[in-house]
Amino acid sequence: MDIVYEYQFNINDVDEMMHVYHSNGWEGHTQEDIITIFNMSTHVIIAKQDGNVVGFARALSDDVFNAAIYDVVVDVKYQSQGIGKNIMELMIKRLGELSCIHLISMYSSEKFYESLGFRKLKTGMVMYSNKKLKTEYTV
């Protein structure tokens, strides 16, 4: 399986990206949302097989000290094939030598991110407006 990694968002990929989100149960992402969040992101990696989107990630960075990685998502049909790992390794490389790269993980993905060198924070804090997310992710 030849996977190609692209570093720019293409609006023509929106429907396929929405399918990847939805395949993972992330039903809240509309076409408009995807266009906005990927256009506003400073770093984008999109994985494609035969021209079709199978995974992606995005990040926001000041390119000096800090970055935050968001939406590391691989279509469920393509998971456990190294695509997510490749996306993350490429993203970390593209972000460069920063003081800190932040990431919020789902519980089921913590071991995956730890294998890439991420560690839990002692002092991290967050504010969620969504009550379900607040209950699920905060202490």
- Type of residue numbered 88: M
CA 95 to centroid of chain Cα atoms: 13
Beta strand ranges found along the chain (DSSP E) = 3-6, 43-49, 52-61, 66-74, 100-103
Phi, psi dihedrals of residue 136, rounded to the nearest 5°: -75, -35
CB of 85 within 8 A of CB of 113? no
Beta bridge partners of 4: 48
Report the run of H or E that residue 41 belongs to, with start and end. Answer: none
Distance separating alpha carbons of residues 53 and 114, to the nearest angstrom: 26
Query: Is 7 considered catalytic here?
Result: no
Choosing from 70, 113, 128, 137, which is the catalytic residue?
113
- Known catalytic residues are 113
